[in-house]
Amino acid sequence: MNLTKFGHACVRIEQDGQRLVIDPGGLTEAQALDGVDAVLITHEHLDHFSEDALRRAAENNPALRIWANASVAGRLDGLGTRVTVVGDGDAFAAADFDVRVYGTWHAPIHPDIPRITNVGFLIDGTLFHPGDALTVPDTGVDTLLLPVHGPWSTTGALIDYVREVAPRQSYAIHDGALNHVGIAMIAGLLGDNGPSTGAPYERLAVGTSTRIS
C-alpha cells in the first residue's frame, strides 16, 4: 500500500492500480483527485470537504464513487447513487479496499459551538484516518494518521490517544495551519523528545509518499 500526503488532512492510498483519497478539502492540492477511483469524507468542514473539487472530479470521471456521512452527502445532490451515506459500524468496499467506519461526532471545540458529525475510516484493517476526532477503533491499527493540530486538540491528548490506539507507527495529518516552529515542536513531543507514545512518529512533506504494510 502506497500512502501519499497532500495538503492538510488529505491522503491518497494506492494499491494494485486502485486509488482512494480521504478528505480532499479546501487546503488540498487539486492533483490529489487525479485518476482517483473512490473518495471518503470524514465530515463537512472546509479543510476536509470541498464540494466544488468533488463535483469537478465526478464530472471528469463518471466512475468515481464517494462515501461520506449524511451531512456531507446532503450537499452532493445530483450525483445520485454515486454518493453513499455511511456511519459508525458500517463496512463496505471502495476501489477494492475494505473500509470500516468508526465514530459519530467531531471532537468538541467549545461548549458554545454546536458539534457536527464525523466518521473515521479504517482501510484494509491496517490504516486509520479519524478525521477530527480521537476515535479508538475496536481492533488493532497498524498505521495511525494522527491529526496533530486544530482548535479542538492538545498535544498532551494526542500522546494519550496514540498510546490508547497503540499503532505500530503514526503519520502526521491535519497540520496545514502550522509553521516550521510548530511542526518541530509537535514532532519533538510526539517523538524522541517527548514522554513516549509507544509508536514511531513521522511527518511526510506534502506530495511525498511512503510504502506501508
Number of domains in the chain: 1
Which structural domain range is residue 92 located in?
Answer: 2-211
pLDDT score of 197: 97
Give the mean pLDDT of 129-140: 98
The separation between the first and the last C-alpha atoms of the chain, rounded to the nearest angstrom, is 6
Whether 213 has a pLDDT exceeding 90, the answer reads no
Q: For position 68, which CATH number holds?
A: 3.60.15.10
Strand blocks (E) in the chain: 2-5, 11-15, 18-22, 38-41, 65-68, 83-85, 91-94, 97-102, 120-123, 127-129, 143-147, 169-173, 201-202, 209-211
**Cell triple for residue 72?**
456531507
161-212 pLDDT, tens per residue?
A: 999 999 999 999 999 999 999 999 999 999 989 999 999 999 999 999 999 9
26-48 pLDDT, tens per residue?
A: 999 989 999 999 999 999 999 99
Give the mean pLDDT of 142-155: 97
**Do 2 and 28 form a contact (C-beta atoms < 8 A)?**
no
Alpha helices in 11-145 (DSSP H): 51-60, 70-73
pLDDT score of 43: 98
pTM of the model: 0.97
